[in-house]
Structure 1
Amino acid sequence: MRTRTTTATATAAAALTTAVALLLTGCGGGSDSDDSGKDEIAGADTGASASASPSPSPSASEDGVDRPEIKLPKDIENVFEGGSTGDAKKDAVLADNERRVNSIDEAIVVDAEKHPALEFYSKDDALLSAATYIKSFYDNDRSFTGKTRYYEREVTFAKDGSATVTYCMDSTDTYPKDRKTGKVDRSVKASPNDYVFYNTRLEKNTEGVWQTTSVSSTEAAKRCM
């Protein structure tokens, strides 16, 4: 299983360098998302890019915003529980929170020249910490596969117009994957660290997108177990 904390770091200069490198080169430096499966070995799970398909995230055109398409491979499943709150403003915040989560996963598992959705839904400390986190996968030649569950998602609004989204993540059904061979290590056992509580801050930009600006997280969160 994977722990996916993306807390912002204090080393802003180093993180900024990492973020810029990530956004310009897509971490892996692949030519496009259709070529990454060429080195797969017989019997291995299919590569992320080769089986990429549109993620089940909210429609990119339902609110009129010109959004970058997010594609996740078939072996990646993100389940966002809770559905509609009945409040259009809260639902819009949750939708962009969901898209941000998917954009981070796309940047990890899909080898492409660019990952425009990452910068579209994250900025400031949240973008820097996400870039550092994503780069760690490439540095270790690993990816992941499986299902991740997001639940107990709540939205609150501040007087300055920003929003806070808190939620739990359960990654007990995900497994490490070797980026080069596509082999999945299913021997890894679930642990309390697979349950993470997130507290995120979002701001609405001029395009009408709720961008995440900061993230804090707690691993082995009892409230999520």
Structure 2
Amino acid sequence: MKRRALSTAVAFAATSALLLSGCGGDDGGSGEDDEIAGAAKDPAPGTSAESPSGDAAKRPSVTLPSDVKNVFDGWEAGDAAKDALLTDVTHRINATDAAIVAADPNSEALRFYYKGEALAGAATWVKGYVDEGRSITGTVRFYDPDLVMVDKDTAALAYCADESKASDKDRKTGKADKTPVTKESYVAYNSRLEKGEDGVWRTTVLESERGNAKCVR
């Protein structure tokens, strides 16, 4: 099974290079020290976690129905600053799914966790679901996060998603699509994030590619 594609990711490789440009270091990319380690982390799917320590932002409440779940595997860096960023990304992912379920392209949570190009893309994506009378169901596992800090307020994050246990469904009938699990069930994401004055990490660029070899299991 698979969900409606977030983007066709035209020139995905070029976007990846753009996200990582200027990240510092002799090799211009993530090294061994940038690998994300840690035990599997599966935050409660229904509600956003509390704000990280020292963060004064008032995050919007995000609630997912019982049949929609996101699992974040290995999303702990063991570093307070990086963990705060990764937590905000989990909130953004949950907020996107909540907006689809609620058929709300103008969701407050979308506008909170996205900005710029990424916000426009997310709103268009959610609207596509609304226009087609579709919603989502099932569990998506997010794994292999690869985080590069450009500076204290800018970062690039790549990660994978396994949608083999998730699918679209008809909004009226509730009937889920039944499609075979293939390499297209696995999605590679590249994103760029910026930290606001309120301490929140917001996604400014987000691209995806289905069937990317690095994510296929």
TM superposition score category, shorter chain reference: 0.7 to 0.9
Deviations 1:60-99 (A, max 9, x none): 4754421100010000010011142111111011011111
What percentage of aligned pairs have identical amino acids?
41
Does structure 1 residue 216 correspond to structure 2 residue 217?
Answer: no
TM-score (normalizing by structure 1): 0.73
User: Structure 1 stretches of 5 or more lacking a match?
Assistant: 10-52
Give the equivalent residue in structure 2 for 1:135: 127
What's the TM-score, normalizing by structure 2?
0.76
Letter in 2 for 1:173: K
Gaps of 5+ in 2: 11-43
Equivalent residue for 1:38?
none
Counterparts of residues 106-145 of structure 1 (less than 5 Å): 106-111=98-103, 115-145=107-137
Relative to structure 1, the CA distance from residue 7 to residue 158 in structure 2 (aligned partners, 3 Å threshold; closer, same or farther) is: farther
Are 1:200 and 2:191 matched, yes or no? yes
- 1:113-143 CA deviation, whole Å, 9 max, x = no partner? 9621100000001001111111111111111
Residue number among 160, 176, 181 corresponding to 1:190 in the alignment: 181
Does 2:58 match 1:66? yes
- 1:94 alignment partner in structure 2: 86
Is 1:177 aligned with 2:177? no
Across the aligned residues of Structure 1 and Structure 2, the Cα RMSD in angstroms comes to 2.3
The answer to whether the 8 A contact 2:4-2:168 is kept is no
Q: Structure 2 CA distance, aligned partners of 1:74 and 1:161?
A: 35
Q: Hey, what does 2:6 align to over in structure 1?
A: 5
Closer/same/farther in 2, CA of residues 130 and 114 from structure 1, 3 Å limit = closer
How much does 1:195 deviate?
0.8
Deviations 1:188-223 (A, max 9, x none): 212211211111000011111100000122210110
For these two proteins, the number of residue pairs brought into alignment is: 181
Q: 1:46 aligns to what?
A: none
Letter in 2 for 1:138: V
Equivalents in 2 of 1:208, 1:176: separation in Å? Answer: 34
